[in-house]
Structure 1
Amino acid sequence: MAPFQSAAVSSSEVAEALRGCLKWFAGVAVFSAIISVLYLSGSIYMIQVYDRVLASHSVPTLVALSLWLFATIVLQGFLDAQRLRMLARIGARFDEVLAPRIYALVAAMPLCAPTQSRTSAPVRDVDQVRGFLSSLGPTALFDIPFTPLFALIAFLLHPWLGLLVVLSGLVILGLTFLVDVLNRSISKMIAGTAVQRQNLIESTRRNAEVIVALGMDVPLTNRFQIMSNRLTDAGLRASDVVSTVGTATKMIRIGLQSASLGLGAYLAIRGEISAGSIVAASILTSRALAPIETAIVHWRSFLAARESYFRLGECLALAPEVDDRLPLPGPSRRVQLSNLVVVPPGGTSPILKGVSFEMASGDALGIIGPTGSGKSALARVLVNVWRPTRGQLKLDGASLDQWGKRLSAHIGYLPQDIELLEGTIAQNIARFSAAPDPAAIVAAGRAAGAHNLILDLPRGYDTPIGDGGIGLSGGQRQRIALARALFGDPFLVVLDEPNANLDGEGDEALERAIMSIRARGGVAVVITHRTPGLSATNLIAVLKDGQFSAFGPKSEMVRRLPTVYGSEQSPRMAERVST
């Protein structure tokens, strides 16, 4: 565990997940200590056989020693198997603890850090750390501290034998650090390139139609090939380093083990050690170097896991977990915005500049304005997808952060880009709640004017749809997404271009939906370029350059619209809004 720690992330959620496995780590440490001591049984056996059994020609002593060695080998094998089982459970526990946060992080990172190239990497990072924790790699971390024990026993046999073990360990440790130095930059490049390639794959999947239709597949294929070649070349370089040093380490270990035999024979000839100590010294040398060799074999996966560990800490810091707050009564009175300034995630310039307004229960606000004026940004702030840089947004006098995790139950949102998830229509409308009320699902379908449309589908509300709403038309997706926004009768409903894909019947259904929100005491915000969506509103605002150039009752705004909107289409828009 120690190699993962650093002051920067020692208190992070990732470190907490590892600390939650302390009892398993303690078990691994205890078993490692016992296993290391049991490894001495081979040396003790050889000393006793050569120095006692051969001298006394005692078969019963040989049998007793052999049975004892067999018992220690069985116990050692059992403990080693249990140690590996513990490591597997440490990896599983680490994944289990972080899984909910990692999924939430994957959803939040594109919102809080859209320019990050590794927004889809946290899942792979968790897999990387879990894979290392469940492998043989950590055993070296627990076995290496016992290497001095074998060196000490070698010193007890003879100082020269102990010195040989120490020098052997230093040589192999030097090779281990050499692997670290040579592979450090390569590992970072591999991780970065792998993320970029995966992002390209995901982007290609999302935009397959445009890529094929516009002939972008050929240049993107070339781009993918370049990334793959770069990744392969870096992987080969890293593999060459590890394999070369690993082979050198194995050869050195075999050579040193043979050297210990030769040195032991020389010392035995001079009468400084017994014959049994010759073989014992060779076994001690081999065992002292074995965990270092294991560390080198798994060094590449250790480096990758270490990089993943630190990346996870950084990513989780970007989207802190929302604290569970004291439950507040559901909002029912008003929505207040005060001097709202918003800088988009990853940006430097504000897109909303001091926006303020207040809406009461039963109000519906229609927001119009030119492209790029900040309408969608305002929608994202209203539903707590983006956080304001300055200013306040309150529901019934409580800021959004005071609602905690329960805020989403009081908000309905229809984004400009409709995204439905793989599942049934009922699951999508119910926001994939664990045990939704069927009556509430049907009520939301009716409120969105989508009930009959859904019943016409092969299996009605139980009709399965693919990722992104595959199998449905644009209008069907929009109506179902509207039902999702209305599910549970949320107090604040924000609709961003809700009629972009609707026909005349859909426009009428949208109008009825907005009127139903007002009738039950909710608040609706409708952002649109098309005037039918504004006919059910009682307030209209014009947003230009991140500020409201006009805000007021619809009856008043219809008269002012031609002057404040500044467009040749304003008279016609005013006429249609008034109807």
Structure 2
Amino acid sequence: MIQKAEDKAKDSSIVAKLRKEHQPYFRNALFLSVFVAALPVAPIAFMRLTFGPVLYSDSVAYLLWLLLILIAALTLAAALEWVRDRIIMAGSISFVSKLEKIVFSTVFEDSSREWTKGATIINDLRTIRTFLASQVAGAILDAPFAIFWLLVIFFIHPFMGLLSIFGAVMALIVGVIVEKKVEPEMEKAGEHQSTSRSELTSYFQNLNASLAMGTLPNLYDRWNKSQSSFLLSQATASAQQSFGGALTRVIMLVQGSMLLGLGTLLMLLEIMPIGMAGNLIIAKFIGALAMRPMMTAVMSWKNIVAARQAYENVDIFLQENPAVKKQMKLPKPKGVIQITNASVYADDSDKKILDQISLQANPGSVTIVLGESGAGKTTLAKLLVGFREPSAGSVRLDGVSVFNWDKAELGPHLGYLPQNIELFGGTMVENICRFEKPDQEKLKTACKRAGLNYIYEDYLNNTEHSIDPDSMTVSGGMRQKLGIARAFYGDPKLLVLDEPTSSLDSESEDNFIAAIMEFQKTNATIFIMTHNKKILKAADHILVLFKGRQKIFDTKTNIAKKMRMSQLEETN
């Protein structure tokens, strides 16, 4: 009963539904495979007729007509195979493209998932696409008809049929053994390659520190260990695959010769009539035709195993990580933030990063969040933008959970500057405009507020400033200004900035504070996490966190009054 439930769950999975949706492509390709498998037999019929009726008829016209029919049949076979390949290609592109969209959303919309696993799944999709576009997919469709041709040899003589099936079974056994040997090595190679890539990316991101501290030789040794393990596993799998392919070729060649030898022996023993000598060549030809798709499959067994493993990985990933369900379309947010008893626990721990935070911020207000490192400021920022869900309590924007709000719908109304600013390969304008088509007025305003007027002016003059994929050439101050401009772009209703002045000089800080006070007039709700008390100049409310707890939340005016009262009491 449990097994039935598991099978039902598999049948109802996203991958299974997509596979069912694309079955018409498979059925059409399979239908054409009937003709693709049958028409190559035309040379056999041509040979039989040439050495029989044509010679006895003494007619050149008969021979020419047969030759034209043969050419037409083989041309039609090639054309139908081409059409079949186009159908398979169209189906694979449609299937993988739809799967890619689901996987991409699933990987990126839930920030709690590890990127390494997400990157592996995206690589699995690439493996599936490559396999479906290869000749192996067509060979698999030809396999059932290959079995049919093997059975045809039985009509020539049962012993020859048994020998043909024996050869096919031997090729299959070789394939199974190779799979058992190759599969674990392919898994190891994939794991080592993923680790190697992750380490290399990490090293590039911290290149300056590595150079300064002289750690590159140690990092290279660490990376080389993973890379060597990957190459070793890959080499082992390739060697086993090559051995299997070589053995299969031997089986195919030996089978063809054995068919001729067995047929000759049967005639010498007068078990088969001497008049059927011509059928020996036919049996050899049909045997080779039947073995061709099997040999293609065995030779590419590594790709078949990799594609099957990739398919299973994607299916399991989507079952374990269901895509975020789309919510009902909501109106444009006004910016009312309400946090009620929000707590956040560290992963796999009872330790609280935030503990019972409660506050409300209205449109047009600026809330400055202060606290020591590790007080929970960054975690609170992630809660505010819906990047993380509270372990307890709620964080709502206009009465709706920020975490559950469709990010594509909320994104244009939200500005966020993370503490670790990430830029994307492209141009500075593309990064500021969030890779949308630039709106000149929005771009002008965002650049002005971030102190990047020259970028807008250069854009008008068709001069672009490029950013490499690793953004290694961008200084810390420029990175921060670009992040600020991106956050300001489009006049968002909720602006959350985490340490926005950490890499700015004094003049840029003053410009930033002025920009915040000017942006406040757009009636946006603003949160700024900072150690820089200079920014308090722009504050309406102040939230002080201490070890994840809310120590103070009040207006700047009330806090100033309480501090003056406290000073007077101490004086008296």
Same fold (TM over 0.5): yes
Bigger mean CA offset, 119-128 vs 148-157: 119-128
1:284 and 2:286 matched: yes
Q: What amino acid sits opposite 1:523 in the alignment?
A: T
Deviations 1:161-219 (A, max 9, x none): 22222222211111111111111111100111111111122112222111211111101
1:185 and 2:187 matched: no
Partner of 1:84, secondary structure, is: helix
Say if 1:207 and 1:318 are closer, same or farther in 2 by CA, change over 3 A: farther
Structure 1 position 20, deviation (Å): 5.2
Bigger mean CA offset, 265-274 vs 30-39: 265-274
How do residues 381-400 of structure 1 correspond to structure 2 at under 5 angstroms? Answer: 381-400=383-402
Partner of 1:419, secondary structure, is: coil
Q: Is the 8 A contact 1:112 1:345 kept in 2?
A: no
State the partner residue of 1:575: none
Deviations 1:340-371 (A, max 9, x none): 23345677754223322211122221111222
How do residues 504-523 of structure 1 correspond to structure 2 at under 5 angstroms? Answer: 504-523=506-525
Structure 1 position 509, deviation (Å): 2.2
**What is the rounded CA distance, in whole Å, between the counterparts of 2:284 and 2:351 in structure 1?**
70
State the partner residue of 1:255: 254
Q: Is the 8 A contact 2:357 2:549 kept in 1?
A: yes
Deviations 1:142-174 (A, max 9, x none): 011113311332222222222222222211111
Q: What amino acid sits opposite 2:330 in the alignment?
A: L
How do residues 222-371 of structure 1 correspond to structure 2 at under 5 angstroms? Answer: 222-269=221-268, 270=270, 272=272, 274-316=276-318, 320-332=322-334, 334-343=336-345, 349-371=351-373
Partner of 2:538, secondary structure, is: coil
Partner of 1:218, secondary structure, is: helix
**What is the rounded CA distance, in whole Å, between the counterparts of 2:496 and 2:259 in structure 1?**
78
**What is the rounded CA distance, in whole Å, between the counterparts of 1:128 and 1:88 in structure 2?**
14
State the partner residue of 1:218: 217
Q: Is the 8 A contact 2:334 2:493 kept in 1?
A: yes
Structure 1 position 100, deviation (Å): 4.3
Q: What amino acid sits opposite 2:163 in the alignment?
A: L
Structure 1 position 408, deviation (Å): 0.9
Bigger mean CA offset, 329-338 vs 180-189: 329-338
Q: Is the 8 A contact 2:450 2:482 kept in 1?
A: no
Q: Is the 8 A contact 1:425 1:480 kept in 2?
A: yes
1:164 and 2:166 matched: no
Q: Is the 8 A contact 2:244 2:299 kept in 1?
A: no
- Superposed CA RMSD in Å reads 3.2
Q: Is the 8 A contact 1:340 1:391 kept in 2?
A: yes
Q: Is the 8 A contact 2:467 2:474 kept in 1?
A: no
Say if 1:172 and 1:452 are closer, same or farther in 2 by CA, change over 3 A: closer
State the partner residue of 2:446: 444
State the partner residue of 2:3: none
**What is the rounded CA distance, in whole Å, between the counterparts of 1:223 and 1:391 in structure 2?**
43
**What is the rounded CA distance, in whole Å, between the counterparts of 1:70 and 1:348 in structure 2?**
77
Q: Is the 8 A contact 1:108 1:319 kept in 2?
A: no
Partner of 1:376, secondary structure, is: helix
Bigger mean CA offset, 151-160 vs 206-215: 151-160
Q: What amino acid sits opposite 1:256 in the alignment?
A: Q
TM-score by length of 2: 0.88
Say if 1:214 and 1:101 are closer, same or farther in 2 by CA, change over 3 A: farther
Q: Is the 8 A contact 1:495 1:527 kept in 2?
A: yes
Bigger mean CA offset, 321-330 vs 29-38: 321-330
State the partner residue of 2:76: 75
Deviations 1:466-511 (A, max 9, x none): 1365555433332332121111111111110111112222222222
Q: What amino acid sits opposite 1:237 in the alignment?
A: T
Q: What amino acid sits opposite 1:417 in the alignment?
A: N
State the partner residue of 2:502: 500
Partner of 1:39, secondary structure, is: helix
TM-score by length of 1: 0.87
Q: Is the 8 A contact 2:384 2:395 kept in 1?
A: yes
**What is the rounded CA distance, in whole Å, between the counterparts of 1:371 and 1:484 in structure 2?**
25
1:432 and 2:431 matched: no
**What is the rounded CA distance, in whole Å, between the counterparts of 1:507 and 1:320 in structure 2?**
43
Q: Is the 8 A contact 1:51 1:276 kept in 2?
A: no
**What is the rounded CA distance, in whole Å, between the counterparts of 1:441 and 1:67 in structure 2?**
69
Say if 1:455 and 1:330 are closer, same or farther in 2 by CA, change over 3 A: closer
| Alignment length (residue pairs) | 557
Partner of 1:366, secondary structure, is: strand
Q: Is the 8 A contact 1:361 1:521 kept in 2?
A: yes
Say if 1:552 and 1:137 are closer, same or farther in 2 by CA, change over 3 A: same
Q: Is the 8 A contact 1:365 1:541 kept in 2?
A: yes
Q: Is the 8 A contact 1:426 1:461 kept in 2?
A: no
**What is the rounded CA distance, in whole Å, between the counterparts of 2:55 and 2:267 in structure 1?**
16
Structure 1 position 120, deviation (Å): 2.7
Structure 1 position 64, deviation (Å): 4.3
Q: What amino acid sits opposite 2:419 in the alignment?
A: Q
Deviations 1:372-410 (A, max 9, x none): 122111111211122223332211112232445211112
Q: Is the 8 A contact 1:454 1:461 kept in 2?
A: no
Deviations 1:253-296 (A, max 9, x none): 11111111122223345263522221111122222222111111
Say if 1:423 and 1:67 are closer, same or farther in 2 by CA, change over 3 A: closer
**What is the rounded CA distance, in whole Å, between the counterparts of 1:344 and 1:62 in structure 2?**
84
Q: What amino acid sits opposite 1:408 in the alignment?
A: G
Q: What amino acid sits opposite 1:430 in the alignment?
A: C
Partner of 1:229, secondary structure, is: helix
Say if 1:271 and 1:456 are closer, same or farther in 2 by CA, change over 3 A: closer
State the partner residue of 2:409: 406
**What is the rounded CA distance, in whole Å, between the counterparts of 1:560 and 1:543 in structure 2?**
18
**What is the rounded CA distance, in whole Å, between the counterparts of 2:68 and 2:474 in structure 1?**
73
Structure 1 position 529, deviation (Å): 0.9
Deviations 1:108-139 (A, max 9, x none): 57x3223x534433443222211111111112
Say if 1:318 and 1:528 are closer, same or farther in 2 by CA, change over 3 A: farther
Bigger mean CA offset, 466-475 vs 404-413: 466-475
Bigger mean CA offset, 405-414 vs 31-40: 31-40
Partner of 1:351, secondary structure, is: strand
**What is the rounded CA distance, in whole Å, between the counterparts of 2:138 and 2:7 in structure 1?**
21
State the partner residue of 2:113: 113
Say if 1:402 and 1:281 are closer, same or farther in 2 by CA, change over 3 A: same
Q: What amino acid sits opposite 2:259 in the alignment?
A: S
- Percent of counterpart pairs with the same letter? 28
How do residues 33-72 of structure 1 correspond to structure 2 at under 5 angstroms? Answer: 33-50=34-51, 52=53, 62-72=63-73
**What is the rounded CA distance, in whole Å, between the counterparts of 1:461 and 1:355 in structure 2?**
48
State the partner residue of 2:482: 480
Structure 1 position 43, deviation (Å): 3.5
Q: What amino acid sits opposite 2:113 in the alignment?
A: A
Partner of 2:369, secondary structure, is: strand
Q: What amino acid sits opposite 1:282 in the alignment?
A: K
Say if 1:59 and 1:263 are closer, same or farther in 2 by CA, change over 3 A: farther
